[in-house]
Amino acid sequence: MASPGLQLLLLLMALPLMQPFSLPGLDTAEGKATIAGPVLSALERATFFLEERLPEINLDCAVGFQVLKVQLQSVQEKWARDPLLQLLSLRMGKLAEKLEVLLQRSIFYLKLSDPKYLREFQPTLLPGFWKLPRAWTRTNASLVYPTFEPQDFFSEETSDSCLAQLLGTGEDSSQPCGLSDFCRALMTKPGCSGYYLSHQLLFFLWARMMGCTKGLFSQSQHYINLFCANMMDLNRRAEAIEYAYPTRDIFMENIMFCGLSGFSDFYKLRWLEAILSWQKVREGCFGKPDVKDEELSKAIQYQQHFLRRVKRREKQFTGNENI
Smallest gap from residue 267 Cβ to ligand NAG (A):
18
Q: How far apart are the first and last CA of the chain?
A: 15
* Closest to 19 (Cα-Cα) out of 41, 35, 8, 38: 35
Residue 146 near ligand NAG by CB under 6 A: no
Q: Letter for the amino acid at 221?
A: Q
Give the C-alpha distances (Å, rounded to integers) separating 309 from 60, 76, 201: 16, 35, 16
Identify residues 47-106 at the interface with ligand NAG (CB under 6 A): none
Our measurement of the distance from residue 79's CA atom to the centroid of its chain's CA atoms, rounded to an integer in Å, reads: 24
Using the rule CB under 6 A, give the single segment among 104-112, 136-144, 185-193, 278-286 that binds ligand NAG.
136-144
Using the rule CB under 6 A, give the single segment among 93-101, 109-117, 139-147, 251-259 that binds ligand NAG.
139-147
With b meaning 16 or more CB within 10 Å and e meaning fewer, what string describes 281-300? eebbbbbeeeeeeeeeeebb
Using the rule CB under 6 A, give the single segment among 10-18, 62-70, 137-145, 263-271 that binds ligand NAG.
137-145
Read out DSSP for 59-128?
HHHHHHHHHHHHHHHHHHHHHTT-GGGHHHHHHHHHHHHHHHHHHHHHHHHHHHH-HHHHHHHGGGGSTT
Smallest gap from residue 220 Cβ to ligand NAG (A):
16
Using the rule CB under 6 A, give the single segment among 10-18, 73-81, 140-148, 213-221 that binds ligand NAG.
140-148
Residue 140 near ligand NAG by CB under 6 A: yes
CA distance 62 to 67: 9
Q: What is the number of the residue whose Cβ is closest to ligand NAG?
A: 140
Using the rule CB under 6 A, give the single segment among 138-146, 238-246, 302-310, 314-322 that binds ligand NAG.
138-146
Looking at the Cβ atoms of 84 and 141, the one nearer to ligand NAG is 141
- Report phi then psi at 119, rounded to 5: -65, -45
- Residue 296 three-state SS: helix
Number of residues that bind ligand NAG (CB under 6 A): 3
* Among the listed residues 135, 142, 174, 270, the single contact to ligand NAG using CB under 6 A: 142
- Work out the burial of residue 309: count CB atoms within 10 Å of its CB; fewer than 13 is exposed, 13-18 middle, 19 or more buried: middle
Smallest gap from residue 226 Cβ to ligand NAG (A):
9
Smallest gap from residue 137 Cβ to ligand NAG (A):
8
Smallest gap from residue 20 Cβ to ligand NAG (A):
22
CA distance 313 to 301: 22
Looking at the Cβ atoms of 239 and 265, the one nearer to ligand NAG is 265
Smallest gap from residue 187 Cβ to ligand NAG (A):
20
Chain residues in the site for ligand NAG (CB under 6 A) = 140, 142-143
